Amino acid sequence: MPGPTAGRATGSAPSRIPSVVWLVGPSVLLMALLFGWPMIAGIVQAFAGPEGFTLAHVERMVADPYFWPSVRNTLLLIVVLIPLQFALALAMALLLRTNPRFGGLYFYVWAIPLAVSDLAAGLVWLAVLTDRGYLNSVLAGLGLTPVPWLAFDNPVSLFVAVLVAELWRATALVLVIVVAGLQGIPKDYEEAAAVFGAGPWQRLRHVLLPLLRPSLQVALILRTILAFQTFAVAQALTGQNFPLLVGETYRWYTILQNENVAAALALVVLLLSMLTSVIYLRTLRQAQT
Amino acid sequence: MAEIRMEGLVKTYPGGTERATDDVSLDVADGEFVVLLGPSGCGKTTLLRMLAGLEFPDAGKITIGGEDVTYRAPQDRNLSMVFQSYAVFPHRTVRANIGFGLAMRKVPAAQIAQKVAWAAELLQLTPYLDRYPAKLSGGQRQRVAVARAIVMDADVLLMDEPLSNLDALLRLSFRAELKKIVQDLGTTTVYVTHDQGEALSLGDRVAVMRTGRIVQLGDPLEVYDRPADTFVGGFLGSPPMNFLPATVHDGQLSVAGHARPAPAHLQGHSGDLVVGVRAEHIGISGINDTDGTNGIEARVDVVEPTGSAVLLTTSVGAGPGPAVLKVSAPPTFRARPGDTVRLDLAPDALRYYDAETQLALEP
Ligand SMILES: Nc1ncnc2c1ncn2[C@@H]1O[C@H](COP(=O)(O)OP(=O)(O)O)[C@@H](O)[C@H]1O
Ligand SMILES: [Mg+2]
């Protein structure tokens, strides 16, 4: 079968290795080395005992009093955070689409959190919310009683603190993806919709959102996977008072020095991420046809 | 159905230095088909977008059906429009595209289905109703855009170069269909094009635009036959009108070295002017065919048979700058480059223009 490379005769017998191998090979190799191998090693570690296969690590993980709270917190954070982030990012992107004065400047300001490391972001919010932080100083200045926002016995305000910090930190990613997606949609479609009687909400619902679906899909999968990995912000703000799955993984690995349980926890995060990605892809694809 | 009144519309785009439309006033009667014709960049689309509410004028007023709509949002104007880019929604089937406007206006589903079926039948789209636009040809997408516009029962139908993206053959056949559809609908229509053939064949009236202004408004034959200035004459017609320098002295008109009595309305005139004549109004004969001396001698430079006629490019008069005349001869006429022919400029085929202002010198 003469392929497109057939003209590149070398004098010897024509090479039987199709060009696709050369094109895909390096990245497959890299993926195998950097992702495949550690993943397999991790899976092995989660189930490896002195006498071969064991569920002891998994049992120990589930028995830990922090495990179920961390699962619940992680899921709760995702369920509340992601819709808020998408609503905010969409609103901001639509504002930018109206070409306001200094629109370019707003975009860069809004995108700044993207460049801030998550630990730094967590420390910034810690400075704001800690007992003698900026927020309480302002409250005191106004003659109000300061509130212990990050107290361990105040789970609601702990949750809200992590939520706000994550909202500030990670909405920019959704914004950038949505803005890029919107730029690919010609104004003609909105204009046609307007001429044919669609008001602003109808244009958003019947024209912009459907055309934006691919971008939203990417942003949703990316953001959800990243939200499962929320760690540094919560760690800086709450320590262990608001346990999350990745925080627990870290605790088992470093403080409790148990690599096997840590690996089992990492596996839980992986499974949850894969499960939601598959669900997203399924539901969004079905809606398309 | 409604009449449109545009009064003194001025629009300068932000950052623009020139006015995109410069004090345009135009009335379109109820049910009338008006074509805006002009070269690219003359402000046709801008005018149409102001009618649609997609752009607001800096000054002036638009009324539709007696209501002032100058600053009203597009969705509140009850219009429909065919966009130059079609703007057929890629995420909706042909059926949903055609029914879009009706769905937005909350028309009952049964009625929408009926209207969509009617429009699809009219535009031969019935087999494609459940396809997505990506699986249609350009011509079919064009039809979807038209179908979407005509189901609306709108007061006003706007079309921005709807045929410009079609190939020549399709354009010609669809032009006739479009004319029939719009005639049957009887909707007030404003149609934008840069194609003079389209303008002449479609419009009840044609408004010729240039650099943001309407330079002539009239019924197509009048605009073609009596261009208000040399620009209109040069823009309309294929080939465009011929222009020759001429002079009037003592009641004698001299064109291309050929003198004759000037027409009555130029008797008082004296000095330079420009004579315009359409290619098909020039009589032509071989140099030996007639005994008369009542013609202008010209040399044939190019011969282009077009099937229905032979288009000759001739030069008249010797000297440094011979005038070039395009002549449309009968298809049976035979000539070769280098031949000399005799041209006959019939007095009633000649139009006269001021040499300075380029405006018509009408009786
Ligand atoms: N969005 C815009 N911003 C700035 N200038 C524009 C814009 N649209 C059109 N123009 C300018 O306005 C003039 C008229 O344009 P347009 O109405 O599109 O012309 P036409 O449709 O006759 O080709 C042109 O000089 C064009 O460059
Ligand atoms: Mg245009």
Return the pLDDT at B209. 95
Residue A51 lies in a domain: no
Residue A61 lies in a domain: yes
Chain B residue numbers with beta carbons less than 8 Å from the beta carbon of A189 are 87, 89
Nearest to B75 among A194, A210, A213 (CB): A194
- For residues A178 and A265, state if they share a domain: yes
Nearest to A199 among B75, B81, B158 (CB): B75
Return the pLDDT at A9. 45
Residue A125 lies in a domain: yes
Residues in a beta bridge with B6: B26, B62
In degrees and rounded to multiples of 5, residue B11 shows phi and psi of -145, 125
Distance CA B316, CA B300 (A): 9
Put simply, the answer to whether A196 touches B104 (Cβ < 8 Å) is: yes
**Ligand 1 closest atom vs CA B161:** 21
Residue A259 lies in a domain: yes
Return the pLDDT at A3. 45
- For residues A80 and A145, state if they share a domain: yes
pLDDT greater than 50 at residue B320: yes
CATH of the domain at A190: 1.10.3720.10
Largest CA distance in chain B: 77
Residue A110 lies in a domain: yes
Residue A52 lies in a domain: no
Closest listed residue to residue B52, CA positions, set B83, B12, B29? B83
Q: Which of B100, B142, B148 to mutate to test the interface with A (most CBs of A within 10 A)?
A: B100
Of residues B362 and A183, the one with the higher pLDDT is: A183
Top-confidence range, A95-104, A232-241, B140-149: B140-149
The ipTM assigned to this model is 0.86
In degrees and rounded to multiples of 5, residue B218 shows phi and psi of -175, 180
Q: How is residue B219 annotated by DSSP? A: -
pLDDT greater than 70 at residue B278: yes
Cα separation values, A183 from A186, A210, A221, B178, B315, Å:
7, 14, 20, 34, 54
Query: Quick check: B152 contacting A, CB < 8 Å?
Result: yes
- Identify whether the C-beta of residue A190 lies closer than 8 Å to the C-beta of residue A182: no
Read off the tokens for A85: 């982030």
Strands B258-261 and B21-28: unpaired
pLDDT tens profile A32-89: 899 889 889 989 999 988 888 888 999 999 999 999 999 999 999 999 999 999 999 9
- For residues A92 and A29, state if they share a domain: no
Counted domains in chain A: 2
- For residues A64 and A21, state if they share a domain: no
- For residues A38 and A159, state if they share a domain: no
* A123: amino acid identity, one letter: L
Put simply, the answer to whether B74 touches A191 (Cβ < 8 Å) is: yes
- Identify whether the C-beta of residue A242 lies closer than 8 Å to the C-beta of residue A234: yes
Cα-based torsion angle of the residue sequence A171, A177, A178, A182 in order, rounded to the nearest 10 degrees: 160
pLDDT greater than 70 at residue B254: yes
- For residues A112 and A221, state if they share a domain: yes
Q: Which of A196, A204, A207, A217 to mutate to test the interface with B (most CBs of B within 10 A)?
A: A196
| Mean pLDDT value across chain B | 91
Distance CA A155, CA A254 (A): 25
Distance CA B198, CA B160 (A): 12
- For residues A17 and A89, state if they share a domain: no
- For residues A28 and A166, state if they share a domain: no
- For residues A93 and A150, state if they share a domain: yes
The whole domain housing A33 covers: 4-46
Residue A118 lies in a domain: yes
Residue A277: partners with Cβ closer than 8 Å, 6 or more residues away:
A221, A224, A225
pLDDT tens profile A138-192: 999 998 888 888 888 888 889 999 999 999 999 999 999 999 999 999 999 999 9
Q: How confident is the model at residue A13 (pLDDT cuts 50, 70, 90)?
A: low
Q: Which domains does chain B have, with CATH numbers?
A: 4-235 (3.40.50.300), 242-354 (2.40.50.140)
Strands B242-249 and B271-277: antiparallel
- Identify whether the C-beta of residue A85 lies closer than 8 Å to the C-beta of residue A226: no
Mean pLDDT of B50-76: 95
- Identify whether the C-beta of residue B93 lies closer than 8 Å to the C-beta of residue B131: yes
pLDDT tens profile A92-142: 999 999 888 888 899 999 889 888 888 898 999 999 998 888 998 999 999
Q: How confident is the model at residue A205 (pLDDT cuts 50, 70, 90)?
A: very high
Q: What share of chain B is helix, strand, coil (3-state, %, to 5)?
A: 30, 35, 40
Give distance in angstroms: CA of B160 to centre of ligand 2.
7
Distance CA A202, CA A214 (A): 19
- For residues A264 and A154, state if they share a domain: yes
- For residues A25 and A144, state if they share a domain: no
Give, using CA atoms, the residue closest to atom 7 of ligand 1.
B13
Distance CA A232, CA A238 (A): 10
Distance CA B343, CA B296 (A): 5
- For residues A151 and A262, state if they share a domain: yes
